[in-house]
Structure 1
Amino acid sequence: MSSIPQSKQALLSAISTVFNKLMVDYRSILDEVTRVKSIDGNTKGSKVSVCDTVAYLIGWGNLVLKWYRLTAEDQPVDFPETGYKWNQLGQLAEHFHHQYSDWTYSQLLTELEQTTNALLLLIDSLTDEQLYHTPWYEKWTLGRMIQFNTSSPMKRIRTQIRRFKKINGAN
């Protein structure tokens, strides 16, 4: 599924498909290796753990939900997040890693599942018109902004997780 979603159904499918596959991969990793920092991070030369990748996905998922909530309430939104600019996404990723650093792997997976379900419910509550036929942030539609921050990073992270599993004998 390499094409970019252009409809509500395609977006729901893209997220659900990669999320379900990613969760199978995550659940097959032994807890004792989930804090090993051996996965390429978002900042050049940095390494992150499996737990950090989950924290990253939770962080971005919650940001998308926050953006939508604030916009729906006619409140200002600091994109991508208060205190961060678009050219500081590495620092924002590190913020997410730190924010969830005390959580257990099991807690992280549960939170990722809840965050993803909240995103799917949000998408399901919207129309194709709202998602794909109206600019939402600058030139981007809401559907595209959701996809940029959910299924796209999930696909990238799944590739990293599968590589991690192969290297660590966790197939």
Structure 2
Amino acid sequence: MAVPTDKTALIDAIQINYGKLKKELSTIPVELTVSKELEGHSKGTQMSLHNLVAYLVGWGELVLKWNQKMDAGEAVDFPETGYKWNELGKLAQKFYSDYEEIEWTTLLQRLDQTVDRILALIESKTNAVLYEQSWYEKWTLGRMIQFNTASPYTNARGRIRKWKKERKLS
């Protein structure tokens, strides 16, 4: 799928990529979600499927937080307070920890809710706000949302499909 360049394409990319990911997630037995068998978001680390979903929720909620702060005229610490862009592995570990106590089905519901809130955010913005002005450095708001939603959903789906194939779960 091409990189979205307008509001409609961004919504489509999120809905399509998330729909495919959600289908993969729905077939995973709960008991297999906590074993750390996937390559982690930091070099040389392993993560569980639960961690992977926590990562997606974490980034989605961060996108919402950035927008809430920007809309309120407040300063935003990108990517997150206490983290720099070259520390995304540490931020991933924070997300794993933030959501580790949430059971699998509840975490999946939280991801659904986060995606719904992001889609509502996009709907509330004009195409001009999303794609015709810089929002963070050289990046538009639409591109920043895509970087942290549609693209990671595709990546996560690929990781899950590979994991399933290795375990003959397809």
Question: Above 0.5 in TM-score?
Answer: yes
Match of 2:82, SS?
Answer: coil
* Matched AA of 1:139: K
What CA deviation, in whole Å up to 9, does each residue of 1:114-164 have, x standing for no partner?
Answer: 000000011011111000001000010000000000011111111001111
**Offset of 1:58 from its aligned partner?**
0.3
Give CA deviations for 1:46-87 in whole Å, capped at 9, x if unaligned. 110001010000000000000000000000100000010000
Q: Distance in 1 between matches of 2:111 and 2:30?
A: 16
Q: Which residue of 2 aligns with 1:144?
A: 143
Residue in structure 2 matched with residue 24 of structure 1 by the alignment: 23
- DSSP 3-state at the match of 1:140: coil
TM-score normalised by the chain length of structure 2: 0.98
> In the TM superposition, what is the alpha-carbon distance from 1:168 to its structure 2 partner?
2.2
* 2-structure distance, mates of 1:16, 1:79: 26
CA distance in 2, matches of 1:49, 1:23: 16
The correspondence of residues 62-101 of structure 1 with structure 2, limited to 5 A, is 62-101=61-100
Q: Give the Cα separation in 1 of the matches to 2:118 and 2:166.
A: 32
Which consecutive aligned stretches of 4+ in structure 1 deviate over 4 angstroms post-superposition? none
The structural deviation recorded for 1:113 is: 0.2
Partner of 2:124: 125
Alignment partner, residue 158 of structure 2 = 159
Structure 1 residue 89: Cα displacement: 0.1
Could you say which residue in structure 1 is the equivalent of 2:35?
A: 36
The reply to whether residue 52 of structure 1 matches residue 13 of structure 2 is: no
CA-based RMSD of the aligned residues comes to 0.6
Identity %: 47
Q: Distance in 1 between matches of 2:10 and 2:158?
A: 20
Length, aligned pairs only: 170
TM-score calculated relative to the size of structure 1: 0.98
CA distance in 2, matches of 1:33, 1:58: 19
Unaligned runs of 5+ in 1: none
Amino acid at match of 2:112: E
- Return the offset for 1:166: 1.4
Gaps of 5+ in 2: none
Q: Quote the offset at 1:165 in angstroms.
A: 1.2
Measured in 2, the distance between the counterparts of 1:44 and 1:68 equals: 30
Amino acid at match of 1:6: T
SS at structure 2 position matched to 1:102: coil
Residue 170 of structure 1 deviates from its aligned partner by: 2.1
Q: Secondary structure at the match of 2:135?
A: strand
Task: Determine helix, strand or coil for the equivalent of 1:137.
Answer: coil
